[in-house]
Amino acid sequence: MSKKRPTFAQAAALIVLIFAIVLSGITFFNVDPHMPLFIAIAIAVAYSFYLGYGWEELETNMFGTVASALQPMVIIMIIGMVVDIWIGCGAVPYLIYRGMKMLSPKWLLLCSIIICSLMSISFGSSWTTKGAMGVALMGAGEGLGIPAPMTAGSIPSGAFFGDKQSPLSDTTNFAPAVAGTDLYSHVRSMLWTTIPGLGCR
């Protein structure tokens, strides 16, 4: 059976339909995401059969995608352990104490962005940064009289910037692995959006 390539309109319609099924299932019907995801996958598989692709080929592609996601999944598991260890050993309370001693209220927000950016680049994780340094900076900001919403806004600004630009980041590794490009080309291409986004803060 010959294989057909979907048109752009067909592919876009399929993506919109899948998002609509998942979002409506979670939002309007208040069900767990598993069933809407299963229905969406079934529709995508049925459409692939219509285009002429066999189950063995679909299965091979699915296994290849899962295999490319294993490294980011391991990184995500390590992130959770690192945050728990830092909190359990007293590193976060110590950072709050040192932050209140070293940082001036006038410079806290700017320093929060810079510190969180550097930490995310070093560790490759915005979640680790927010779960450890973010908690410490929130405590230091509270102690220095900085409004909590302003501190809470500066922390993810730096954390997400560093996460997107870090070659150790799970999502930064996952995206080029799935798209079939190399890591550093992906990092360079994101500078066009991450630097303006950081500058707007």
Residue 1 lies inside a defined structural domain of this protein: no
Domain end marker among 45, 68, 91: 68
Q: Residue 186 belongs to what domain range?
A: 70-199
Residue with tokens 């010959």: 2
> How many domains would you assign to the chain?
2
Q: pLDDT tens digits for 120-162?
A: 888 777 877 888 888 888 888 888 888 888 888 889 888 888 8
Residues of the chain with pLDDT > 90, as a percent, come to: 12
pLDDT exceeds 90 at position 43: yes
> Among 29-43, 61-75, 179-193, which is the least confidently predicted range?
61-75
Average pLDDT over residues 48-56: 89
Q: Is 90 in the same domain as 181?
A: yes
> Among 2-16, 44-58, 100-114, which is the least confidently predicted range?
100-114
Q: Which helix (H) or strand (E) holds 132?
A: none
The whole-angstrom separation of Cα 110 and Cα 90 is 25
Q: pLDDT tens digits for 87-98?
A: 788 877 787 777
Sign of CA dihedral 179, 182, 187, 189: negative
pLDDT exceeds 70 at position 200: no
Residue 180 lies inside a defined structural domain of this protein: yes
Contact at 8 Å (CB) between 129 and 116? yes
CA distances from 22 to 41, 71, 111 (A): 10, 26, 40
What residues contact 175, with CB distance under 8 A and at least 6 apart?
186
Domain end marker among 68, 88, 115: 68
pLDDT exceeds 70 at position 13: yes
Domain end marker among 27, 46, 68: 68
Residue 39 lies inside a defined structural domain of this protein: yes
Q: Is 150 in the same domain as 138?
A: yes
Q: Is 131 in the same domain as 180?
A: yes
Residue 162 lies inside a defined structural domain of this protein: yes
Contact at 8 Å (CB) between 144 and 103? yes
Residue with tokens 């598991």: 77
Q: Is 78 in the same domain as 172?
A: yes
Q: Is 24 in the same domain as 95?
A: no
- Specify which of 38-47, 92-101, 174-183 reaches the highest per-range mean pLDDT: 38-47
Angle, CA 64 vertex, CA 63 and CA 70 arms, to 5°: 90
pLDDT exceeds 60 at position 201: no
Cα 113 to chain centroid distance, Å, stands at: 18
